[in-house]
Structure 1
Amino acid sequence: MYIPVCVVRMPCRELRMSDRPYPDWSTMINDVVDTLLPKMKEMPFGLFGHSFGALLAFEIARNLRENHALRPKHMFLSGTFAPHGDQRKRDRAQFVKLADATDEEFVASLKQNGGTPKELLENEALLNIFLPSLKQDFRLVGQYRFEGHGPMLDCPVTFFDGLQDKKHDIEVWREMTSAEFNTQFLPGGHFFLLDKSNEIKIIDHVKSKLR
């Protein structure tokens, strides 16, 4: 089964190196939706997001439902707290604090959390290029405010989580959709999806839901 994949690349990365970081959530969501909308109107689609990307996927789905009468066939989210949960509110200050930290403090935090390529963290020239955009990612997460009440989605959702990652409020996530909601736990910490065996399981699950 062949499924075309559209990757959402954030500014200051790869082919978007010359693009400025998004200043706020509204600008980011509108840009992503405007870019993907033609394809989404042509065929059934799913959305996958991990960590910051899960929040982004959730807000994209809300925008599509409210403004374009479109919905994913299935959503796949992982590794983050629910948009409207108490833990999300408690985490805001920590993300803003890291975004405003010195470069040395920020890099130390990235090393501690893992998942960031060693080649980047040990290359001062690359860090000078990427740190501003990485800090802005953290700032955006810290600025996130959920607005609304009741289920925001009407599509099925799968939530993936690492068994050794911090405990996420999955039952609170469940409140976000009026459709089917299921969970998949896989071995590993926050970046469990980088493990090859986990990657295969995730891909197989995605394919089974998008057939």
Structure 2
Amino acid sequence: MLTPVNDLGDDPRRPVLICLPYAGGSARAFGAWGPALSAAGIGLLAVRLPGREELVRRRPYTRPKELVADLANEIAPIASSRPYALFGHSMGAGLAHTLTHEMSRRRYALPDPLVVSAHRAPHLPAPWPPTGDLADTELVDFLRVFGLVSVAALAIPELVELLLPMLRADLALAAAVPCRPRRPLSCRTVVYGGLDDPFVDAPALSAWGAAVLGTPHVRRFPGGHLFPWEHPEEFGRILLADLAALSATTVGEAG
């Protein structure tokens, strides 16, 4: 599932950013981030989930526990040898948080930082109604109204037909992510949100303070639920700044 997006280099200690996609997203969503991260000395790995791209014929995950266990197994060699950060957007943020708890349970090194984007604090209820029983047309309307899929994509019937099974599986996966208070995580945490996101408002972002030790850095960007792809230049600049400590590790080791 871990898919290289840029050149990880020959140095096994080079830091890595691992990205988890939003519902309906893919590893390709992070492709444009590769060059800037390479220039900063950071490798980029994206999680390619089954049910899409080259894994389109594989059964999608619908249980977070299974997915998180498999991801922890893949990340274990990275966590034991090099600094790494986790980034998750929307569904990916809930999974990244759950994955970090699994890494902690196994006593693996934790990400520095954990970046959670467009997701409420994990102990808060889901901000949308259940979608499992929606007919296809109702689900498309839901996706359009809340900006979960681009309007351009939803205007192509053949593409919608391909996307809906994957989206249903992803929404089921996102709905199954545990929603309960847990022991606060000890890793540095950064929280991102969109100013016009209909799902995740400022209080839902600030509430991440209950999920981590210390005070998370909360940043809000222009745009809706998919704000990183609406304003990529501003987003990329701030993401790199928040990963500065990670890239500085490379400089220190190389020097």
TM-score band, normalised by shorter chain? 0.7 to 0.9
Unaligned runs of 5+ in 2: 1-39, 249-255
1:148 Cα deviation from its structure 2 partner: 5.2
| 1:141 partnered with 2:174 | yes
- For 1:171 and 1:116, the matched residues in 2 are separated by 26
Separation of aligned partners in 2, 1:200 and 1:188: 14
1:34-86 per-position Cα deviation (integer Å, ceiling 9, x unaligned): 2222222220101111111110110111000111332112111111111112x
% identical equivalent positions: 26
Partner Cα distance (2:238, 2:149) in 1: 21
1:62-119 Cα distance to aligned partner (Å, 9 max, x none)? 000111332112111111111112xx25x47x1x3x2321111111121222252445
Counterpart for residue 236 of structure 2: 200
Q: What residue is the counterpart of 2:7 in the other structure?
A: none
Shift of 1:17: 1.2
Please name the residue that 2:24 is paired with: none
| Change in 2 beyond 3 A, CA 1:79/1:20 | same
| Deviation by residue 1:148-205 (Cα, 9 ceiling, x = unmatched) | 5331x10111111112224142332111111441111211121111112333223322
Q: TM-score, length-normalised on structure 1? A: 0.87
The SS at the match of 2:165 is helix
Contact kept, 8 Å, 1:192 with 1:198, in 2: the verdict is: no
| Uncovered stretches (5+) of structure 1, i.e. residues with no partner | none
Aligned match of 1:174: 209
Q: Which consecutive segments of 4 or more residues in structure 1 shift more than 3 A?
A: 117-120, 146-150
Q: Which of the two has greater helix per residue?
A: 1
1:16 and 2:49 matched: no
Are positions 1:62 and 2:97 aligned together?
A: no
Structure-1 residue corresponding to 2:196:
164
Q: How many angstroms does 1:133 deviate by?
A: 1.5
Structure 1 residues 106-115 or 70-79, which shifts more? 106-115
Query: Which amino acid letter does the alignment assign opposite residue 210 of structure 2?
Result: E
| 1:150 maps to 2:150 | no
* 166-175 or 73-82, larger mean C-alpha shift: 166-175
- For residue 184 of structure 1, what is the aligned residue in structure 2? 219
Number of residues paired by the alignment? Answer: 204
SS at structure 1 position matched to 2:44 = coil
**CA distance in structure 2 between the aligned counterparts of 1:123 and 1:187, rounded to whole angstroms:** 27
Normalised by the length of structure 2, the TM-score is 0.73
Q: CA RMSD in A?
A: 2.0
Could you tell me how far apart the structure 1 residues matched to 2:51 and 2:188 are? 33
